[in-house]
């Protein structure tokens, strides 16, 4: 399906590929041996804010930069199959997952189905963050305390049985007003 | 914890922030109103290969660029809360999720626990792609047919009850040897 956006992406890609240089020789494992988990937010460009060239590091992104099971799946693959040995968790100021709480999402989703069943699981409009195990997958993973959300996700990753103890997991907040990374201890 | 990699990231970030310009004025919703789901692979830089400036579009990334529940959570938030109205699914050649099959992952993980229990769910070393519903979350989401993996994920997203019918979902393969996007119909 042709759309103006698709045409723009294709045109930008044609220009990128025309100046691709020797990047086609890069191998699969990340050259610099690390991975970043961060938010999908449009203002964040992890390659630019963390200084990554193509080939350097894995970048995992979702709404909030949360340590979901899928993010942990990706980190485990990143280490076990592709050799990364250091990980970063980077959330950011003015994040939608902090601004929109459960009730807000519920209201916004009311024009969709209130509760959707898909693939044997229930997707609810209500936040179920601290609730049942079942809720983890279908929760929207909003948070109310930014620094704590980083600590929680670092801790969730560290405590996972497939995370080796030797891997440093660094927590940061990216400030969308300044472009700066602020460490979270 | 200070490490050489952390110091490098901090130094690169300091340089980025020093030349931040007026990017601090960008608002939360993506300026160009679309989202890209792609792989965490280090060789892929979606901002560069698709021509994104900071603020333009959501970027969601995991191992394989798969339409996991967490990726769909992110896409739903991207549309419902932040107004994107067009989505791209972009897998790539030479992907680890195609090269490493279930048995390979099993072998590589044997130095870890064969089966890890975490947060009430079982993380197994074996591939369970087409298996039980339970398996979706803990499966490694490898695939054997690259173009079909794109079609499958586009279809999974399109068929989700929280995906509006009006949203175009474009499927592409990124060629790591040339930097080019190849449409998958």
- Check if A145 contacts B (Cβ < 8 Å): no
Give this complex's ipTM: 0.88
Residues B171 and B130 in one domain: no
3-class secondary structure, B10 = helix
CB contact at 8 A, A167 and A177: no
Q: How far is B145 from chain A (nearest CA, A)?
A: 18
pLDDT at B129: 35
Interface test with B, best of A2, A42, A95 (most B CBs within 10 A): A42
Residue B172 belongs to domain with CATH number: 3.40.1050.10
Chain B residue numbers touching A117 (CB-CB < 8 A): 161
Same domain, A124 and A159: no
> A40 or B134: which carries more pLDDT confidence?
A40
What is the percent of chain A where pLDDT is above 90? Answer: 68
Separation of alpha carbons A142 and B88, rounded Å: 24
Which one has a higher pLDDT value, B113 or A109?
A109
In a domain, A105, yes or no: yes
B148 and B130 in one domain? Answer: no
DSSP A123: E
- B113 and B95 in a common domain: no
Compute the Cα dihedral for A33, B178, B148, A137 and give only its sign: positive
Residue A14 within any structural domain of the chain: no
How far is it, in rounded angstroms, from Cα B84 to Cα B22?
A: 23
Task: Tell me: do A112 and A149 sit in the same domain.
Answer: no
The answer on B154 and B87 residing in a single domain is yes
The answer to whether residues B94 and B151 belong to one domain is yes
Which chain B residues are within 8 Å of A74, Cβ to Cβ?
40, 61-63
| Spatial contact of A74 and B65, defined as CB atoms under 8 Å apart | no
Q: Which of residues 31-60 of A touch B (CB under 8 A)?
A: 31-35, 40-45, 47-52, 54-60
Q: Given an 8 Å threshold on Cβ–Cβ distance, is A176 in contact with B68?
A: no
Residues whose CB is less than 8 angstroms from the CB of residue A63 and which lie 6 or more positions away in sequence, other chains included: A39, A40, A96, A97, A140, A141, B60, B73, B74, B77, B78
Q: Is the dihedral of CA B48, A83, B39, B69 positive or negative?
A: negative
Instruction: Based on the fold, state whether residues A86 and A152 are members of the same structural domain.
Output: yes
The alpha carbon dihedral of A91, A94, A96, A100 has a sign of positive
A47-74, pLDDT tens digit by residue? 999 999 999 999 999 999 999 989 999 9
The answer to whether position A171 is within a domain reads yes
Task: Convert the pLDDT of each residue in A124-142 to its tens digit.
Answer: 544 333 333 333 334 688 8
Q: Which candidate, A56, A94, A177, places its Cα nearest to that of B12?
A: A56
pLDDT at B14: 98
Q: What is the pLDDT along chain B (185 residues), one digit of tens a residue?
A: 899 999 999 999 999 999 999 999 999 999 999 999 999 999 999 999 999 999 999 999 999 999 998 999 999 999 988 999 999 999 999 999 998 876 666 666 654 444 555 555 655 544 333 333 333 334 688 899 999 999 999 999 998 878 888 999 999 999 999 999 999 98
Do A59 and A128 belong together in one domain? no
At residue B141, the pLDDT reads: 85
In a domain, A54, yes or no: yes
Tokens read off for A172: 């940061």
**What pLDDT does residue B96 have?**
92
Shared domain check, A109 and A95: no
A90 plus A149 within the same structural domain: yes
Residue B23 lies in a domain: no
Total of domains in chain A = 2
More confident residue, A12 or A118: A12
| CA distance linking residue A58 with residue A133, whole number of Å | 28
Instruction: List, as ranges, residues 70-109 from B with C-beta within 8 Å of A.
Output: 70-71, 73-74, 77-78, 80-82, 86, 88, 94, 96-97, 99-100, 105, 108-109
Q: Say whether A24 and B162 touch across the interface (CB within 8 A).
A: no
Helices (H) and strands (E) in chain A, counts: 7, 7
Q: Is the pLDDT of residue A108 over 50?
A: yes
Query: A43 lies in which domain range?
Result: 30-99+142-185
Task: Note whether residue A21 is domain-resident.
Answer: no
| A57 and A82 share one domain | yes
Asked whether residue B12 is domain-assigned, the answer is: no
Mean pLDDT of all residues belonging to chain A: 86
Helix (H) or strand (E) holding A72: helix A69-80
Whether A121 maps to a domain, the answer reads yes
Residues of B in contact with A79 (CB under 8 A): none
The answer on pLDDT for A109 being more than 80 is no
Q: What is the spatial distance between Cα B99 and Cα B4, in angstroms, rounded to a whole number? A: 31
């Amino acid at each position: 399906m042709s759309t103006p956006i698709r045409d723009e992406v294709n045109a930008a890609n044609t220009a990128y590929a025309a100046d691709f240089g020797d990047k086609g020789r890069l191998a699969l494992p990340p050259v610099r041996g690390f991975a970043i988990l961060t938010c999908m937010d449009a203002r964040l460009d992890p390659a630019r804010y963390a200084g990554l060239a193509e080939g350097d590091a894995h970048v995992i992104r979702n709404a909030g930069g949360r340590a979901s099971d899928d993010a942990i799946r990706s980190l485990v693959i990143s280490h076990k199959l592709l050799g990364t040995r250091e990980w970063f968790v980077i959330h950011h100021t003015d994040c939608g997952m902090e601004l929109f709480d459960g009730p807000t999402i519920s209201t916004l989703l009311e024009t969709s189905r209130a509760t959707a069943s898909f693939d044997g699981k229930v997707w609810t409009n209500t936040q179920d963050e601290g609730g049942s195990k079942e809720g983890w997958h279908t929760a929207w993973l909003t948070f109310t305390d930014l620094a704590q959300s980083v600590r929680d996700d670092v801790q969730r990753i560290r405590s996972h049985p497939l995370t080796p103890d030797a891997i440093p997991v660094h927590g940061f907040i990216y400030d969308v007003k300044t472009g700066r990374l602020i460490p979270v201890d």
